[in-house]
Amino acid sequence: MTNTQQAINDQIIEDYSNPKLDVVQIDGLVVLKIIKNCKEYLPELVPGQLLGLDIGTSLEVSNCFPFPPRDQEDENTESSAEYQLEMMRYLREVNIDSNTVGWYTPTYLNSFFNESVIETQYNYQATINQKCVVIVYDPIKTSQGTLALKCYRLTQPFMELFKDQPFSRERLDQANLNFNDIFEQIPIKIHNSQLINALLYEFESSDSLTTQFDRLGISNNIYLEKVMEGMNECLESLNNDLNKLYQYQRAYQTQKNNYIQQKTLEGKKVDEEELAQMIKPLNTHQPSKLNSLLLTNQVNNYCDQIHSFCGNSLTKLSLLRELQK
């Protein structure tokens, strides 16, 4: 092996072992494929695979394909894995990037913070590459005139914590993690070939294109109404989790007080080991804090969306006021 080949291999190993990720570069064609695939399967939300290259501290996404729909996947789970392997083999035969760099999933109103997404993303980062990402596409928000495409991956502290389940409140408190420490958002850069850039410049200078005025609409009532409904559901679920935690703490304290009171009446000293052994079965029913963190993260996401759309509406209203003068 020559020195050049050895240097290339060493660089590949170094890039693979380096968890730092600064930007995810996506080809414009991949963005169009994601939008097209999501539109074809609506109202069902069908995720897909991302293919590309891991180069230094950046991730290049050059291709994608959708997974089989759920009704077909339920009939034969093994066929889904075979389908993915066949697709990657065919892409490799025609000299297209076939390295898995993550997955994408469509969502409504960015409501993707759940344990299923966390488990899937954990498997990608733990078994394939720690730089694997999940790209989230929101077709409802995109229909309002703004491309809703975001990129996330699990943080390293949460990966270490998720590896050692279950999620007790004590372990999460010791790790000092809050809802913002579950996912980290990675900047997205959309890349186009020179031919596509030339075509876009030609469209920009052409007068034959029809102008779309839909994005100038003042009203966002429908979208904001859906966001508020989603946030109310999350708040109700969060309230239910808090009630479960209150009931657990009440039962825990009652059982502990009964034991101490019984030992006091018997004139015996409280045995801490016996107390811990007696309360141990109750600890197995302790509510998980992970669900509360995910709901809190989702509520925070809804608040960001409301802030963003209200800000856009105020900008449009200011523009309309100036035009009416």
Q: Are strands 133-137 and 48-55 parallel, antiparallel or unpaired?
A: unpaired
Residue 150 sits at the vertex; the CA angle it makes with 146 and 91, to the nearest 5 degrees, is: 110
Residue 16 has pLDDT above 60, yes or no: no
Alpha-carbon radius of gyration of the chain: 26
Q: Are strands 183-186 and 188-191 parallel, antiparallel or unpaired?
A: unpaired
pLDDT band, residue 75 (cuts 50/70/90): very low
Residue 1 has pLDDT above 60, yes or no: no
For residue 216, being part of any structural domain is answered with: no
Domain boundary among 209, 232, 253: 209
The reply to whether 199 and 276 lie within a common domain is no
* pLDDT per position as a tens digit, 200-249: 677 666 655 555 555 555 555 666 777 777 788 888 888 888 888 888 77
Q: Helices 156-163 and 115-123 sit at what angle, rounded to 10 degrees?
A: 100
Please state, in angstroms and rounded to a whole number, the distance separating the CA atoms of residues 246 and 242. Answer: 6
The reply to whether 102 and 243 lie within a common domain is no
For residue 47, being part of any structural domain is answered with: yes
For residue 215, being part of any structural domain is answered with: no
What is the number of other CB atoms lying within 10 angstroms of the CB of residue 120? 14
Average pLDDT, integer, range 66-89:
67
The reply to whether 36 and 117 lie within a common domain is yes
Distant-in-sequence contacts of 70-79, Cβ < 8 A, 24+ apart = 70/44, 70/46
Domain boundary among 169, 187, 209: 209
Please state, in angstroms and rounded to a whole number, the distance separating the CA atoms of residues 99 and 90. Answer: 12
Encoding tokens for residue 287?
A: 């509510």
The reply to whether 21 and 160 lie within a common domain is yes
pLDDT band, residue 58 (cuts 50/70/90): confident
Query: What is the domain count for the chain?
Result: 2
- Residues in the chain, how many? 325
pLDDT band, residue 8 (cuts 50/70/90): low
Share of the chain above pLDDT 70, in %: 70
Domain boundary among 209, 234, 260: 209
The reply to whether 235 and 166 lie within a common domain is no
The reply to whether 16 and 143 lie within a common domain is yes
The reply to whether 292 and 165 lie within a common domain is no
Domain extent at residue 76:
3-209
